[in-house]
Amino acid sequence: MNILFIGDIVGEPGRRAVKQLLPGLRKRFDIDAVIANGENSAGGAGITPRTAEEIFSAGVDVMTSGDHLWDQKEVTELLERESRFLRPANYPPGTIGQGGGVFKIPGRGTLGVINIQGRVFMPDLDNPFSVARAEVERLRRQTSIIIIDVHAEATSEKIALARMLDGRASAVIGTHTHVQTADEQIFPGGTAFLCDAGFTGPHESVLGREIEPVIARFVTHTPQRFGVARARVHLQGAMIDIDEITGRARRIQRISEPLNADA
C-alpha cells in the first residue's frame, strides 16, 4: 500500500497546495491513501468544519491534529461528527473526539491511524509512550498497517517513541516543527520513520507566518499579529510503501513539491 503523509497544512496557501498538487501526486506515486495534519489549516491556527471539508474534498482520507486543536471554537462540531478527524490520543479519557481509528481503503483493505502529542516543551497531556503502545495493540487486532503522527517538539521524544514501536507500527512520522528533517529511515523491525514531515504552505516565511512581525516579536518582545505568508508554497510530507500482509514498511521518501507561482 502506498501512503502519502502530508505535513502540517498552514492556512489558505496550504489548502490550495493540497487541492492543486494532490491529484498529480496520486497518479505519479500510485497513492492508495492520504493522511494529513490539518491543525493549522484555518488562518494558520486551528481547524474548522469548513476548512476540514475543503481538505477532505481535495482527496485526503484521514486528518490529524495537535496542540492547536482548540484554537477555533468550531472544532467541537468536527470532533463530534467527523470520524476521519483525529485529535491526540493522549488527552484524558472522556475528552470529545477520538485519537485513533481503522479506516477502509477501497480495493486495498484497512489502514490504522493514531495521533499522539508529545510532552517535552508541549502542553502536559497523558504519557504519550504508554498511550501509543496501548493504541497500537488495540488497532493491531483489526489491521496490520498502522501509521502514527507524533505531534511533538523534541526530536529525542519522537525518535524514542518510534524506536519503542519498531516492529509494531508501520510508520511513525513527526509533525509540529514545520521543518522537514532529512533522517528518513526504516528501523530493523520494519517501521518507517521521519522526525518531521515539514509543512504544507508558504515557505518564504517563518514557519508559514509573515517574516517581519516574527522578527519584531523577537527583537522587541512585544505582541505582534502573525499573519499567514503567501509566497513559495510547497506541499511537504513523506511517501511510505508498506507490505499489506506484514505491515512492514518497504520504502520511505521525503516529498517537497512546489506549487506553481501562478497557481
Give me the DSSP letters along 181-215. -S--EE-TTS-EEES---EEEE-SSBTTB-HHHHH
Q: Tens of pLDDT along the chain (263 residues)?
A: 999 999 999 999 999 999 999 999 999 999 999 999 999 999 889 999 999 999 999 999 999 999 999 999 999 999 999 999 999 999 999 999 999 999 999 888 999 999 999 999 999 999 999 999 999 999 999 999 999 999 999 999 999 999 999 999 999 999 999 999 999 999 999 999 999 999 999 999 999 999 999 999 999 999 999 999 999 999 999 999 999 999 999 999 999 999 985 44
Contact 144, 136 (CB under 8 A): no
The confidence score (pLDDT) of residue 11 equals 96
Contact 174, 206 (CB under 8 A): no
The confidence score (pLDDT) of residue 108 equals 86
**In this structure, are strands 33-37 and 2-6 parallel, antiparallel, or unpaired?**
parallel
CATH match of 2-256 with 1.20.1250.20: no
62's CB contacts (< 8 A; 6+ apart) are: 33, 34, 35, 36, 84, 86, 101, 103, 111, 113
The confidence score (pLDDT) of residue 263 equals 46
Q: Which of 68, 151, 203, 234 is catalytic?
A: 68
Model confidence, pTM: 0.96
Contact 256, 232 (CB under 8 A): no
Whether 178 sits among the annotated catalytic residues: the reply is no
Alpha helices of the chain — where are they, by DSSP H? 11-29, 49-57, 75-81, 128-140, 155-164, 211-220
Domain ranges in the chain are 2-256
The confidence score (pLDDT) of residue 260 equals 82
The amino acid at residue 234 is H
